[in-house]
Chains A and B, each alone.
Chain A
Amino acid sequence: MIWLTWRQFRVQALTAAAALAAFAILLAATGPHLASLYAASGITGCHGGTCGVAASDFLSRLAVTGPYPIVYLLGIGLILIAPAIVGIFWGAPLIARELETRTFTLAWNQSITRTRWLVVKLTLTGLAAMAVTEALSLIYAWWADPIGKAIGLLGLGNGSGHPWEGQFSSVVFATHGITPLGYAAFAFTLGTATGALIRRTVPAMAVTLVIFAAAQVAMPLGLRPHLIPPDRTIATIESAGLDFGNLTATVVPGQPGAWLISSGAINAAGQPVSDLPAACQAAFSGLKPTSPGACLESHGFREVITYEPASRYWPLQGIETGIFLALALALAGFCFWRLSRRRT
């Protein structure tokens, strides 16, 4: 059964290996130079305030240097779509194609029960899916390590707004650490389950894509902020690094590298405000000598910030991965139930 799984999976496996190799070559070609740029930037061995400046300089220069922004974004994009590719091309056909072409009459009448058939196919292909996706993530993490360190020094959990994203940004969180394992397992078993349900390969591929994309969007927007109840703090205007356009914070004071989930200004009475009061408009335009921040503070304004501290990075990773792995197990269980002899 192991041989048969491999033989049926051969083309997909070799394609994945080729893609992985190509990506690795690209990273190997550009990685060492990136590392040397980092070494030359003076970030290593910096102290206190100079670190922030050195990091900022390094990142701004990198943003306009050669292939680095492109490779950076390409890598993130690749790891983001890898689970979807796996779900569509490895997961959906696994059961659907056997049902559609009726080869299950061949497979399930050899001296092997369909339970064993499914166990071997799901386990081997699923593990391969998880391994490939995580491998992509790990080699990319090695390449992007200098950038991550620099952003860490700036204490920006969300990112610095150039192309460079922080560890909590919605695209990076799903492509670094262990979350790729969960996404790959989920996408793969989603594919097999829709295939078992719909019994036609192409429609199963389409449905898998739609559902997985929806999940990929829903998690960072709706669920991730609530996986661990976030902390809430009320900070002074000055310390929050306010963006005066919409009065949102850009920094969580005292929490370097934290994930800034949401923020908003409140007036002296505690009511939320989203625009500069008339009194401080002039300060914003630069017509008055005082800074807009000082103006707001003098009126008793403060900033409410909802955030997750940086220390919760790995717990959040674990919970998110755990959720997707649990979903994957449930979907796999569905496949077994769906294929039981009463139904097909």
Chain B
Amino acid sequence: MRAVIETDGLGKRYRRRWALTDCTLSVPAGHVVGLVGPNGAGKTTLLSLVTGLLAPDAGTIEVLGGTPGAGQAQLARVGFLAQDAPVYARLSVADHLKLGARLNPGWDAELARGRVDRLDLDPGQKAGTLSGGQRAQLALTLAVAKRPELLVLDEPVASLDPLARREFLADLMEAVAEHELSVVLSSHLVADLERVCDYLIVLVGSRVRVAGPVDELLAAHHLLTGPRRDPATLPDGLEVISASHTDVQTTLLARTSGPVLDPAWTVSEVALEDLVLAYMSQATGRRRRDHHHLEVQK
């Protein structure tokens, strides 16, 4: 499958601070990619580089085989929904659709109208008076109706109430199913992404910590509990992501390259949220004092 985003050593700097460092990714097409990380990790920077709003300071990036933002054709293939879904407050919903129609050669007017009808948006209403959820839906309509191959969304549900959040994600998934889109969406909450993403990128402190299909990641990571162990005596083939010790017990979240045969370890599956949290804490080097931290909370 062709890669929808291909980066090599990608970096972006603001004055002296590197917002994104040494980012090397090969994201396959046909997936809903979740980009997760704490605020300030570089998610918006990476997405801005993908859509061509920013140009790299280091490394290279290719989106759908082309340079991001470089010309009409490339811009037509990528749809973007920025954080908080900015819209033109004094333009009406219908004006926004006209904007889309005039500025996009690939505009699908019927799709746009259909969506506006289905979502019960009043075409004459000024966009500034729409609710947060409605604004997000209008912005999504604009992004989808230009018939892109890739849809990029920056924290699309962060400021939405739970109902609006669910409706937005359901609507997004329907669009993905109907138009065979690749999607990249970012969030600082794993819970938002869990239902919809089948490819995960964890970004912490301007670096990619782990990236891959969710199935593979969950199959490759396990929770190991066992009697207290000296770290040096851990079996080979284990990459420990996070560890916590009490006086009698050791708990590890590890990436395993094969089955763990040592009977002293109890091996169990890891939930996506715990996997992400483990990589985040590894990155920030926070030592966990609470030995219950890896309890699976469902």
Chain A residues with CB under 8 Å of chain B are 1, 3-4, 7-8, 101-106, 108-113, 340-342, 344
Contacts and interface: CB of A to CB of B under 8 A. Distances in A.
Given A106-B87, A112-B75, 6 more contacts: A7-B99, A101-B89, A106-B88, A110-B75, A110-B103, A341-B55
Nearest to B154: A105
A103 B72 contact: no
Contacts of A341: 52-55, 69
24 contacts: A3-B99, A7-B91, A7-B98, A102-B83, A103-B88, A105-B80, A105-B82, A106-B82, A108-B53, A108-B69, A109-B51, A109-B80, A109-B143, A110-B104, A110-B146, A111-B72, A111-B75, A112-B72, A112-B75, A113-B71, A113-B72, A342-B54, A342-B57, A344-B54
Contacts of A110: 75, 99-100, 103-104, 146
Interface in B87-112: 87-89, 91, 95, 98-100, 102-106
Contacts of B71: 113
Contacts of A1: 102-103
A110 B102 CA distance: 9
Contacts of B57: 342
Interface string B44-73: 000000011111010000000000010111
Contacts of A104: 53
B84 interface: yes
Given A113-B72, A341-B53, A341-B54, A103 B87 contact: yes
Contacts of B53: 104-105, 108-109, 341, 344
B17 to A, nearest CB: 15
Nearest to B72: A111
A111 B80 CA distance: 11
A104 B86 CA distance: 9
Given A101-B86, A109-B75, A4 B54 contact: no
A104 B69 CA distance: 13
B79 A109 contact: yes
Contact of A3 (B84, B102, B105, B106): B102
B75 to A, nearest CB: 5
Nearest to A102: B86
B124 to A, nearest CB: 15
Contacts of B143: 109
A92 B57 CA distance: 29
A102 to B, nearest CB: 4
Given A109-B78, A113-B75, A341-B52, A4 B86 contact: no
Contacts of B72: 111-113
B138 to A, nearest CB: 10
A111 B76 contact: yes
Given A106-B86, A109-B75, A109-B78, A4 B103 contact: yes
B280 interface: no
B60 to A, nearest CB: 14
4 A-B pairs with the lowest CB-CB distances in the bound complex, closest first: A105-B82, A110-B103, A111-B76, A341-B55
B34 to A, nearest CB: 20
A105 B47 CA distance: 11
Contacts of B98: 3, 7
A342 B14 CA distance: 10
A112 B55 contact: no
